Each structure stands twice: as C-alpha cells, then as structure tokens.
Amino acid sequence: MSRDVSELPFRRAVGSTARGFETERADPAGHHVRLDAAVKRYGRTTALAGVDLEVEPGRFLVLLGRSGSGKSTIARVLGGVERLDGGALHLGGQLVEDRMRHLPPERRDLAMVFQDYALWPHLSAHGNVAYALRRRRLSAAETRMRAHEALDRVGLARLADRYPHQLSGGEQQRVALARAVVARPRLLLFDEPLSNLDADLREHLRVEIATLARECGATSVYITHDQAEAFALADEIAVMDSGRLVQVAPPEQVYHRPASPFVARFTGLAGELAGLVLAVSQSQAHVRVGDWVVPGQALGVRAGDAARVLIRPAATRLLPPQPTGSEGTLPGTVVDVAYRGRGYDHVVATPVGSLSAVFDGQPHPRGALVHVQVRPEGALVYPEEESRASRSSSGGDASKLTAVTLDTDAVAYRP
Ligand code: ADP
C-alpha cells in the first residue's frame, strides 16, 4: 500500500460524520455504495481501470488484493480525498463524485480507520473520540458521555486521559475505532487497520471490528492483502488485480468457485498439478496426472484439454500408504511437517508435484511414505492456457502465495 497519498487530507476526514447537518440522525442505516466505471490515473499508472462496485446498506465488503492493485485508491475515492478521472460514485443514492461534481469528505457521513491509527497527538484518547462529535449539536455533558461510552465499548474507559504516545499500538487502534463509530456514520472505511499489530491482538481487534461495525449499522469497506482476514470478516469479498475487480462474491463462493486461476492462487492453494482432461460429466472433470487420475470441478475445460488442477488445502487429507491407489489419491513422501496446534501440516512430494498444508491430526515424520487424498470439491480444473495467462498477469507475488493457506476450519469442506 502506498503511504504517501494517504496523509493529511485523508486524516482530516477521520471521524468526520456530518452530512452538512448539525443534528443527530435517528436511523443509523448504512449508505448504499455504488461505483460506476470508476477510472483513476496517476500519470501513466492506471490505478483504477473501470471499476463497477455495489455495496448494499449495512453490508461488510472486504477489498482483497496484493499491494498496488488499487484498493487504497478505491477507499480514497469513497472517502472523497481523491477525484475520479472517469465514472461516478453514488452514496445513499446521491451522486457525490464524477468529473463535474465533488462532495467533500465531511459531507459524506463516513469515518475512516487507518493502519497507523492517525490519532491527533495533542488530544487525549477522550479528546480524540469527542472530536468526532464536533459537528453534532450536543451539549458538553452529552459529548462527554457519548465519548466515554464509545471508549468503554472498546475497553478503554480507564485510559481516557492518556495521550496517544502513552498508549500501545493496540490501544491506539481501539481509540481510532471508538472515534470512527461514536457518531454513527453511514460508511466505515478501514485501510489495513490490523497490519501494525501482533498476531494475538490482530485476532482480538478483528472480532471487535466485525462486531462494532455491524452494531452501528454502517456499511463497511475494509482493505486488506491478507486472505485469512478477508475470509473471516467479509459478507462479500471483492478481489482486485491491476486496478480491476476480478470477483465480487461471498467468501464461500470465492473459495469454492474462484472466478479465475488468479483468484484461486491468491486465496490459498496446497499446490497445482498439470494434466490432461479424460472426461467431463456433470461439471466434474477427470484429469490424468502422470499415472494417476484426479477428479475435480470442471471450470471451462472439455475432454482432451490440457489442464491445471489447483488444489485447496482443505480438500487434501493424509492417508497411510495404500496398497492400491484409487481415483483422487496420490502416493508421496513427507518432506516437511509443521505443528499447527489443532494438528500438523505436511508438505508431501508426489511424483507429479509437491502439495503443502496437507493436514492430519497426527504427525508423519519426514521421509514417511504416505498417500494424499484430493477431494473433488476442492480440486479446481482450469484450462492450462488460462492458468498460465493468469500466472503471468499476477506476477511473482501470487505464486508465492500458494504456500499461504487459509485456516482449514474457517472455510472447511464437508465431506
Ligand atoms: P493498494 O492499496 O492495492 O496497495 P493503491 O491504490 O495504493 O494500491 O495503488 C494503486 C496503484 O496506483 C499503484 O501502482 C500505486 O503505485 C499507484 N499510486 C497510488 N497513489 C499514487 C500517487 N499519489 N501517485 C502516483 N501513483 C500512485
């Protein structure tokens, strides 16, 4: 994510909640968000190459993509600190942005939470939260009470008088969260808010963000490059690649029916096998891979096609060595084993390629002979050319990510 462009003007938008009114809204419903054919260029770089996106009121949308894919640009356009070069943005049915029109951030009824917290250093935690209420016509006592309640909601009431430099990173982000929701904006924008935090804190705050955003009824747009975070938080995931949205769907659909090999790779694979499609029936393809046959979901392949089988980790299972192989099982040797708390992830070298994150409750030592079962629900069969094209457009990043796996329980296949 580029940091240079998200500096001061955006920070001024933090906590801004007014729609030009000074009174409190009775209904806390979220904005309906609609981007039409949004184009944004920076010199010769096209950051948004015609993005159509719709988010229903109160829904939680996660924008997922690697660095530089255009996620922050979308957030900045929604936040009103970046102008569009083409297309239009509607919030709550109102045209707020096109080449002719620009509604300033403070009149969009939104709040933003950043990776680096962006608190006012000269204000206490309480002062930061109260500042977001400045446009509401509230008495001093009421402002104090509302700010206190919001801080209490994130577990920080007792630290209300501390200044940002006297708070840990996690505490600062909680203040930022309280500040974002205190005035009940219609849209919450989150730009990688957990990136600077330790793993255990990330998980805690993730749950708090999910709960608070839904409680306050706002529509949420959340940016991350972390697939596990995206799957855990989202009502819908929008996957971005090079300034385009390549799939917008609920997490289950992105996982089970990725729109392209790029999406499949970016959202976690155990490995890839090259083969030849023997037959396709009822959307299931049977693919010859070396001396074995692997069944999978036929995604645009026909009998006789050269194909690539992209395998989800949750669809693999480790078996003891089998006397005779059956369809969907491959022999192999364990080359690595890693303890994961609930059990063990194995890397298995098979004669046709390596598979990682093959789970079993018991460890199998390095060098052990095993079989890997691949269930067809999580074996995604794409035409070889499509798969190759997506690999080159996605650069080195995505192929590295094949080793990154989702928590197998988060989106598990049910046999
Ligand atoms: P992401 O949030 O997915 O990391 P960004 O939206 O920040 O991506 O950036 C998308 C593309 O636009 C990148 O190629 C980035 O280098 C470029 N970009 C973003 N902001 C600017 C800017 N102010 N000036 C020039 N190029 C920019």
pLDDT tens digits, 191-205: 999 988 888 888 888
74 touches ligand 1 (CB under 6 Å): no
Strand, helix or coil at 187? strand
Q: Is residue 382 within 8 Å of residue 244, measured between CB atoms?
A: no
Judged against a pLDDT cut of 90, whether residue 183 lies above it is answered with no
How does 242-278 read in b/e, with b if 16+ C-beta sit within 10 Å?
bbbbbbbbebeebbbebbbbbbbbbbbbbbbbebebe
Give pLDDT, residue 197: 85
241-250: pLDDT as tens digits: 999 999 999 9
Q: Helices marked H in 48-124 — which ranges?
A: 71-79
- pLDDT, tens digit (0-9, with 9 covering 90-100), for 9-56: 222 233 333 333 233 444 558 999 999 999 999 999 999 999 999 999
Please write the tens of the pLDDT for every residue from 68-77: 999 999 999 9
* Two tokens, residue 344: 């063990």
Domain ranges, ordered by start, for the chain: 5-256, 261-398
Residues 6+ apart with CB under 8 A from 288: 275, 276, 278
In order of 63, 187, 308, the CA distances from 234 in angstroms are 9, 15, 29
Q: What angle do CA 125, 225, 388 make, to 5 degrees?
A: 175
Lowest mean pLDDT among 94-98, 270-274, 385-389: 385-389
pLDDT single digits (tens) 293-327: 999 999 999 999 999 999 999 999 999 888 777 88
Q: In what order do the strands lie in the sheet with 45-55?
A: 45-55, 33-42, 86-91, 94-97
CATH: 3.40.50.1110, 1.10.150.120, 3.40.47.10, 3.40.50.300. Which one for 5-256? 3.40.50.300
pLDDT of amino acid 201: 86
pLDDT category at 104 given cuts 50, 70, 90 is: very high
Q: Give nearest CA residue, ligand 1 atom 1.
A: 68
Q: What is the pLDDT of residue 301?
A: 96
What pLDDT is stored for residue 27 in this prediction? 53
Least confident of 129-133, 201-205, 368-372, 387-391: 387-391
Nearest CA to ligand 1 atom 12: 47
Ligand 1 pocket, 227 CB below 6 A? Answer: no
In this structure, the residue with its CA closest to atom 17 of ligand 1 is 47
**How far apart are the CA of 153 and the centre of ligand 1, in A?**
35
- 136-164 pLDDT, tens digit per residue, is 788 889 999 999 999 998 899 999 999 99
Q: Is the CB of 295 under 6 A from ligand 1?
A: no
